[in-house]
Amino acid sequence: MDLDYTEQQKAFRQEVRSWLEKHVPGKPLPSFDTSREGFEAHRAWERVLADGRWGMVTWPESYGGRGLDLIQWLIFEEEYYRAGAPLRVNQNGIFLLGPTLMEYGTEEQKARFLTAMASGDEIWAQAWSEPQAGSDLAAVRATAILERDEYVLKGHKIWSSRAVFADWAFGLFRTDPASQRHKGLSLIFFPLNAPGVRVQAIPQIDGETGFAEIFLDDVRVPAFNRLGGEGEGWNICMATAGFERGLMLRSPARFQVAARKLVELFKAHEAEVEPTVRAAVLQSWMDAEAYALSIYATASRLAAGGHIGAEASTNKIFWSEMDIAMHKAALSILGARAELLRTAPEAGDIGRWLDGYFFSLAGPIYAGSNEIQRNIIAERMLGLPRA
């Protein structure tokens, strides 16, 4: 056990820090969810990152990365959040599909998709959920029928984040229409501007766009766009979901920076708030630290050849519940101003805590609801019998 960074790791942190200081936009970019302009501003930022080869530092150099290890990735993320750099518009691509492609893709597929993903030239959406297939993802009905060397896609996807402006989607389809449940599913990529694709934005809890429905009506894509074998879609999706719940989706640094801001907010209003809020603020800091330490432990284990299993589900529960608690603490510090919009003359330092609180409420739902995660922990970690 050695909890000190090596000289090389310290130097790497400095390198990241000084690059970010020079390049991070001075003003926050407009949201990538609500306008084409904001989306393209984020794409431009992805290109800046890619030019510096900072897009995905863990990827091999041949795909625009630096071939670095997970500890270095954590350091990068820490500096990234510390610098207040823009959210990653291509997170579905780089954090979820990317690692999956590297594990299951052919060399040709990796060459075709990874470089364009790393550069931000192709931004990805995830198209798994359907109106009748939410938690019960194996109930997917959308079909992909092979006709010679093309798949014909048909069906209705929903809740697809970023799909309104994104370029590509990776979807889960039934390639064997006679199949049931987990069998006969395949993971297939399709361009969101292909003939037969219709994308319909769905306003979110705050009234703004964020996710979308996707209607597929005889959309033709080459068989090349299938990741892994036909019928292997379920297993591949579960691997992706592992990345999602495990390391990649939510960097600890995100919460550590939020905890720091919460402490600053608390200090500014200490005289006005009741003592229980102080305990909540301290708990938020402790939880963010606990999550960071846990991810360092996991990264060390993975670096030594270990695997991530059902504990990915414990991560997802922990960070999503922590996120809510942190934002609740902030709202209680803001008191009567918590309900104000930022345009209100008396808004003062309310910041984005209310937006963050709304978004935190989605945490226990997306990436597999926390109820489903608890089922997984109980059955796979604790060995309790299935219902």
Partner 1 sequence: MDFRFSEEQTMTADVVRELLADVCQPADLRRLMGAGVARDEARWTKIVEMGLAGALVAEDKGGLGLSAIDFVQIAEACGYAGLPEPLVENAGVVLPLLAAFSANGRAAALLESALVGDVTVTVAHPTNPFVADADTAEAVLVVRDGAVHLIETAKAKIVAQPSVDPFRRLFTVEFEPSDATLIAGADEAAGPLAAALDRGALFAAAQMQGIAQRCVDLGVAYAKERQQFGKPIGSYQAVKHHLATAQVKIEFARPVLHAAAAQLENADLYSRARISQAKLACTDASDVAARTSIQVHGAMGYSWEVDVHFFLKRGIALTNWWGGPAFHRERVAARVFARPLGPEHTFAREAEHA
Ligand X SMILES: Cc1cc2nc3c(=O)[nH]c(=O)nc-3n(C[C@H](O)[C@H](O)[C@H](O)COP(=O)(O)OP(=O)(O)OC[C@H]3O[C@@H](n4cnc5c(N)ncnc54)[C@H](O)[C@@H]3O)c2cc1C
Separation between Cα atoms, residue 219 and residue 282, nearest integer Å: 52
Indicate the Cα dihedral angle 27, 32, 36, 37, nearest 10°: 0
Using the rule CB under 8 A, which residue among 31, 35, 314, 332 binds partner 1?
314
Which amino acid would we find at residue 248?
M
Under the criterion CB under 6 A, does residue 211 sit at the interface with ligand X? yes
Beta strands at 168-174 and 124-127: parallel, antiparallel or unpaired? parallel
Beta strands at 143-147 and 150-161: parallel, antiparallel or unpaired? antiparallel
Residue 209 binds: one of partner 1, ligand X, none (C-beta under 5 to 8 A by kind) = none
User: CA–CA distance from 230 to each of 171, 199, 385 (Å)?
Assistant: 13, 26, 31
Q: E strand or H helix at 382, and its extent?
A: none
- Binders of partner 1 among residues 63 to 82 (CB under 8 A) are 71, 77-79, 81-82
Which amino acid would we find at residue 24?
V
Under the criterion CB under 6 A, does residue 201 sit at the interface with ligand X? no
| Per-residue interface string for the shown chain with partner 1, residues 82-121, x marking contact by CB under 8 A | x---------------------------------------
- Binders of ligand X among residues 115 to 134 (CB under 6 A) are 126-129, 134
Q: What are phi and psi of 191, to 5 degrees?
A: -75, 140
- Binders of partner 1 among residues 182 to 241 (CB under 8 A) are none
- Binders of partner 1 among residues 291 to 310 (CB under 8 A) are 291-294, 296-297, 299-301, 303-304
Told to judge if 244 belongs to the known catalytic residues of this protein, a careful annotator would answer yes
CB of 241 to ligand X, least distance (A): 10
The string over 171-192, giving b where at least 16 C-beta atoms fall within 10 Å of a residue's C-beta and e elsewhere, is: bbbbbbeeeeeeebbbbbbbeb
Under the criterion CB under 6 A, does residue 173 sit at the interface with ligand X? no
Which token pair is 80? Answer: 């990234």
18 or 62: whose CB is closer to partner 1? 18
Would you tell me which residues interact with partner 1 (CB under 8 A)? 1-6, 9, 13, 71, 77-79, 81-82, 252-253, 256-257, 259-260, 263, 267, 278-279, 281-282, 285-287, 289-294, 296-297, 299-301, 303-304, 311, 314, 317-318, 371, 373-375, 377-379, 381-387
Q: Which residues are catalytic?
A: 244
